[in-house]
């Protein structure tokens, strides 16, 4: 029965500490704020009680007294409580007050520091808050108070003289007054300054100017909270050290329409390249019941997708069988992902065609003797492969292992899709079901990325022309194609 005051970091889920993740995964109660990473609660227990105490769209937040009361009450009742706060709980987070309330009530507490925005947002903007040559001290300052308030808790003259970097939290709206007051108190008007909006998040933006001009520049760029402002020579280093906003897909939103269970690999690749990956699954894989293949019956077994492999083995395992059921057969796989899924289950595919479509497999099988083939695949699939094998005189068993069914987008996913710069389609069923689910056309302005010719055809059937078609028809190929389109777009914009 401990209350943990836990820092969630500035927004990038990767900056949640190992300790924070461990506590979140076992908490009975999680009391959380608005500025926490979007995925922070994903691994909470299904039974955990989640209590939101942040501000609702700029409205009133739950009062600090009320938050303290909830923490004390749940803690005293013996629950494992996580009080999750943006950044670090003891840096402008009122964590100190919560700890005092717990102490007064005799409820044990622990503090888990977090990565604070005042360090992380500049770091992601390419600005080190200290530097041997440029700043030997850093001050974290609240920008919450109006600097001309007569009873201000801040000593502006001292801040103006402060020999190092000044980092302001909560100060975007008052940036004008803050800068003016610092200059009035003697700080150099030409000192470099920066504002970092939504630091560490996919849409991070940074404005660099001088103390005299930063407020104006930030306003021109419509910088909004959450943002930190920084005054110091170190702001100049951004020119050399910018990295996060320079990543190839930085600032772009990419929708992933494949099934939720398969989306994470592609989403992770896109995020690593700097994109905001929006998961808008339009399909779901529903395994079909049925018997496993009869061991030893086939001399060729064809698998056409990783889903097919996993469903086929599920059937084998359920019947007490394993990979030895195919011991006498040649195994063919369409696509490296399918081959990988087989290898994970102890089978190395004999044939993996160069082209990852049924036609490619037909070509690859040209010289291969086949008497009785098993084609294990989705219920709805093209008949290119069975037809071609039958034509060659083979007996063909087609085993429908799973169905691809529609997954409805919820309202948040629809909204997110609406701001996508790219929408990726990894199969014709993602095209069909997404359009069905939307009931209207795709959002305007998004560029459509197709994994290959079959998926592109599905788009054309709906009157849509793909902007990008992968020349390698797998996830790597799709990411590559998207990247080169984004680069071309940037070049185009740069020349304009
Ligand atoms: N405890 C938090 C700060 C809470 S005060 C921490 O340690 O980071 C809220 C202020 O933090 C915001 O007004 C903004 O100035 C800053 N902030 C929080 N998240 C931010 C982000 N992702 N990018 C820039 N500033 C952020």
Atom of ligand 1 nearest to the CA of 95: 1
Q: Which two tokens stand for residue 1?
A: 């029965």
Q: Give CA 194 to chain center in angstroms.
A: 26
Q: What are phi and psi of 491, to 5 degrees?
A: -60, -45
Domain CATH code at residue 50: 3.40.1010.10
Does one domain contain both 57 and 202? no
Does one domain contain both 378 and 321? yes
pLDDT of residue 496: 45
Is 71:31 a contact under the CB 8 Å cutoff? yes
Q: Would you call 379 exposed, middle or buried from its count of C-beta atoms within 10 A (0-12, 13-18, 19+)?
A: middle
Does one domain contain both 125 and 237? yes
Question: How far away, in angstroms, is 118 Cα from ligand 1 center?
Answer: 7
Does one domain contain both 361 and 420? no
Given 405, 422, 456, the domain boundary residue is: 405
Does one domain contain both 257 and 227? no
pLDDT of residue 492: 76
Name the residue of 55, 85, 87, 116 to mutate for ligand 1: max ligand atoms within 8 A of Cβ: 87
pLDDT of residue 54: 86
Does one domain contain both 294 and 312? yes
Is 85:114 a contact under the CB 8 Å cutoff? yes
pLDDT of residue 261: 82
Q: Is 149 a catalytic residue?
A: no
Q: What is the pLDDT of residues 216-234, one digit of tens each?
A: 999 999 999 999 999 999 9
Given 60, 92, 115, the domain boundary residue is: 115
Does one domain contain both 152 and 213? yes
Q: Is 85 a catalytic residue?
A: no
Is 13:38 a contact under the CB 8 Å cutoff? yes
Query: What is the C-alpha separation between 428 and 454, in angstroms, rounded?
Result: 6
Does one domain contain both 419 and 351? no
The boundaries of the domain holding residue 345 are 286-405
Q: Count Cα atoms within 13 angstroms, Cβ side, for 163.
A: 3
- If we measure between CA atoms, which residue out of 117, 185, 111 comes closest to residue 148? 185
Does one domain contain both 463 and 348? no
Is 164:282 a contact under the CB 8 Å cutoff? no
> DSSP code of 77?
T
Total structural domains in the chain?
4
pLDDT of residue 467: 97
**Percent helix, strand and coil across the chain, each to the nearest 5:** 35, 20, 40
- Supply the pTM of this predicted model: 0.81
Q: Which two tokens stand for residue 204?
A: 């991070």
Domain CATH code at residue 213: 3.30.950.10
- Of all protein residues, the one whose alpha carbon is nearest to atom 6 of ligand 1 is 87
Question: How far away, in angstroms, is 266 Cα from ligand 1 center?
Answer: 30
Given 355, 371, 405, the domain boundary residue is: 405
Q: What is the pLDDT of residues 147-188, one digit of tens each?
A: 888 888 899 999 999 999 999 999 999 999 999 999 999 999
Residue 191 has a CB neighbour count (10 Å cut-off) of: 19
Domain CATH code at residue 355: 3.40.50.10090
**Which of 12, 85, 170, 421 is an active site residue?**
170
Atom of ligand 1 nearest to the CA of 90: 1
Does one domain contain both 167 and 227? yes
Question: How far away, in angstroms, is 413 Cα from ligand 1 center?
Answer: 26
Give me the residues paired with residue 84 across strands. 6, 32
pLDDT of residue 56: 61
Name the residue of 86, 141, 143, 199 to mutate for ligand 1: max ligand atoms within 8 A of Cβ: 86
Does one domain contain both 157 and 290? no
pLDDT of residue 356: 77
Does one domain contain both 7 and 44? yes
pLDDT of residue 96: 96
Ranges of residues in the chain whose predicted pLDDT is under 70: 56-60, 494-496
Q: Is 28 a catalytic residue?
A: no
């Amino acid at each position: 029965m401990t209350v943990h005051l836990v820092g969630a970091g500035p927004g990038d889920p990767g900056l949640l500490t190992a300790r924070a993740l461990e506590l979140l995964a076992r908490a009975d109660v999680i009391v959380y704020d608005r500025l926490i990473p979007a995925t922070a609660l994903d691994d909470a227990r299904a039974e955990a009680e989640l209590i939101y105490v942040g501000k609702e769209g700029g409205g009133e937040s739950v009062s600090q007294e009320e938050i303290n009361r909830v923490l004390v009450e749940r803690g005293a009742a013996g629950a494992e409580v996580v009080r999750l706060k943006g950044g670090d709980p003891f840096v402008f987070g009122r964590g100190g007050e919560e700890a005092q309330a717990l102490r007064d009530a005799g409820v044990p507490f622990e503090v888990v520091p977090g990565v604070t925005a005042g360090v992380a947002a500049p770091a992601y903007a390419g600005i080190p808050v200290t530097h041997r040559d440029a700043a030997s001290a850093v001050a974290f300052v609240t920008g919450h108070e109006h600097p001309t308030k007569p009873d201000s808790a801040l000593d502006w003259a001292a801040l103006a003289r402060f020999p190092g970097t000044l980092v302001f939290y909560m100060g975007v709206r008052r940036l004008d007054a803050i800068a003016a007051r610092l200059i009035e108190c003697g700080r150099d008007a030409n000192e470099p300054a920066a504002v970092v909006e939504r630091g560490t998040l996919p849409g991070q933006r940074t404005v660099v100017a001088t103390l005299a001009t930063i407020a104006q520049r930030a306003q021109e760029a419509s910088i909004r909270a959450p943002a930190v402002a920084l005054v110091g020579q170190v702001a100049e280093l951004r020119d050399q050290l910018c990295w996060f906003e320079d990543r190839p897909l930085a600032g772009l939103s990419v929708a992933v329409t494949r099934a939720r269970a398969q989306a994470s690999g592609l989403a992770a690749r896109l995020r690593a390249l700097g994109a905001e990956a929006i998961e808008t699954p339009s399909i779901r894989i529903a395994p079909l019941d049925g018997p496993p293949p009869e061991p030893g019956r086939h001399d060729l077994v064809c698998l056409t997708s990783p889903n097919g492999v996993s469903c086929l083995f599920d059937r084998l395992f359920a019947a007490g069988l394993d990979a030895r059921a195919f011991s006498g057969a040649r195994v063919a796989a369409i696509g490296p992902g399918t081959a990988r899924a087989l290898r994970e289950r102890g089978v190395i595919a004999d044939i993996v065609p160069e082209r990852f479509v049924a036609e490619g497999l037909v070509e690859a099988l040209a010289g291969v003797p086949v008497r009785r083939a098993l084609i294990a695949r989705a219920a709805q699939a093209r008949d290119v492969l069975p037809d071609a094998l039958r034509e060659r005189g083979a007996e063909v068993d087609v085993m429908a292992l799973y169905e691809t069914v529609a997954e409805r987008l919820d309202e948040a996913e629809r909204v997110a899709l609406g701001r996508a710069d790219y929408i990726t389609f990894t199969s014709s069923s993602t095209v069909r079901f997404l359009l069905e689910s939307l009931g209207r056309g795709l959002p305007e302005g998004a560029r459509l990325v197709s994994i290959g010719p079959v998926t592109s055809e599905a788009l054309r059937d709906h009157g849509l022309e793909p902007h990008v078609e992968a020349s390698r028809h797998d996830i790597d190929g799709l990411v590559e194609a998207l990247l080169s389109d984004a680069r071309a777009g940037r070049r185009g914009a740069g020349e304009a």
